[in-house]
Amino acid sequence: MMARMLALLLLCLCSVPAFAASCTGKGIELQVLGSGGPETQDKRASSSYLIWQDGTARVLVDSGGGSALRFGQAGANMADLDVVLFTHFHADHSADFPALVKSSYFEDRQRNLPVYGPAGNASFPSATAFLQNLFGARHGAFRYLSEYITPGAGSYLLQAHTVKLGAHAVRRVFSGAGITADATTVIHGSVPALAWLVQIGGQRIAFSGDTNGDNGNLEKLAAHADIFVAHNAVPEGASGAARALHMPPSVIGRIAATAGVKQLVLSHRMLRTLGKEAETLASIAQHYTGPTEFANDLDCFALH
């Protein structure tokens, strides 16, 4: 009898979705799928975020290496997503997207899935070219999945949207099913890059993406955000290429303060910032005194 009860208990525990451990399945929740940078030795999935509404995964921001596994561990389904937003096309922000698309083959998705990302340049594809380069029937790396960009060929289509913006524009580029997504250009060296603001269920969630924070756009985009996810890729005092690409903590703090965000979440943690959390918090606190948390993979932040 006891053995049977134990077996039943174990069965119940195993069938509980993984996201139940951190997300509650109620209201709007931000789940960090990948809190790391490009280094495998940070032992984190690379950049990716999921926005849940009442236990349904609705918005995916980036899909860096390792994040497809976290997507599954979170209990999310590709069939549920309303929109995918890319900040840029570095591998640590986009490499797992084909894995997610292939996974969706085994789900019953019938609705098209809009995918937004930045414009291209000589070194990076636009969002439209990115999907063509992955799934194009003739030359795509994963041309065996070309049904996802070929009208009439499969159960649903990935609908590519390249976001072209003026230097200081903040523009709404997606609106549907109670979700809006506003984009602005941010500076990440020579990489075309966007920051995003998602509004859903009365909540505002801003994502810096990778940026040096120097063009003044994030302050506008993230104004009064309920959560501002900022990338903690370099320590205070960083110089050269690292500083040209990324925000040191003092810049994150200044932007968070200027924007008046209600909560700051620090992600994209790398070996050069891991272990320096106290120093990072001190630099941020010189400007921003609101709640600040360091993200780990699968952490879930409830918005009220």
**Structure-derived torsion over alpha carbons of residues 108, 114, 118, 120, reported in degrees to the nearest 10:** 80
CB closer to Zn ion, 145 vs 245: 245
Contact present, 92 and 70 (Cβ < 8 Å): no
Radius of gyration (C-alpha) of the chain in whole angstroms: 19
Q: DSSP letter for 190, please.
A: B
Report if residue 96 touches Zn ion, rule: CB under 5 A: no
Any idea which residue has 């009220």 for tokens?
A: 304
CB closer to Zn ion, 42 vs 92: 92
Token reading at 300: 């879930």
Q: Residue 118 to residues 103, 129, 262: CA-CA distances in angstroms? A: 25, 10, 27
3-class DSSP state of 186: strand
Written as one letter, the residue type at 109 is R
Minimum CB distance to Zn ion, residue 68 (Å):
17
Classify the phi-psi angles of 151: left when phi > 0, otherwise alpha if psi is within -120 to 50, otherwise beta. beta
Minimum CB distance to Zn ion, residue 202 (Å):
30
Residues in the interface with Zn ion (CB under 5 A) total: 2
Beta bridge partners of residue 293, listed in sequence order: 265
Q: Residue 64 to residues 19, 32, 198: CA-CA distances in angstroms? A: 19, 12, 19
Per-residue binder mask for Zn ion (CB under 5 A), 210-229, x = binder? x-------------------
Minimum CB distance to Zn ion, residue 210 (Å):
4
* Touching Zn ion, residues 152-211 (CB under 5 A): 210
CB closer to Zn ion, 19 vs 89: 89
Minimum CB distance to Zn ion, residue 286 (Å):
25
Minimum CB distance to Zn ion, residue 230 (Å):
12
Minimum CB distance to Zn ion, residue 270 (Å):
9
> Would you say the C-alpha torsion 21, 25, 29, 35 has a positive or negative sign?
positive
CB closer to Zn ion, 64 vs 75: 64
Nearest Cα neighbor of 266 from 49, 104, 27, 91 is: 49
Minimum CB distance to Zn ion, residue 37 (Å):
5
CB closer to Zn ion, 29 vs 92: 92
CB closer to Zn ion, 82 vs 92: 92
Any idea which residue has 């209990």 for tokens?
A: 75
Minimum CB distance to Zn ion, residue 90 (Å):
5
Any idea which residue has 């010189």 for tokens?
A: 286
CB closer to Zn ion, 156 vs 294: 294
Contact present, 230 and 244 (Cβ < 8 Å): no
* Touching Zn ion, residues 74-93 (CB under 5 A): 92
CB closer to Zn ion, 45 vs 51: 45
Question: What residues line the site for Zn ion (CB under 5 A)?
Answer: 92, 210
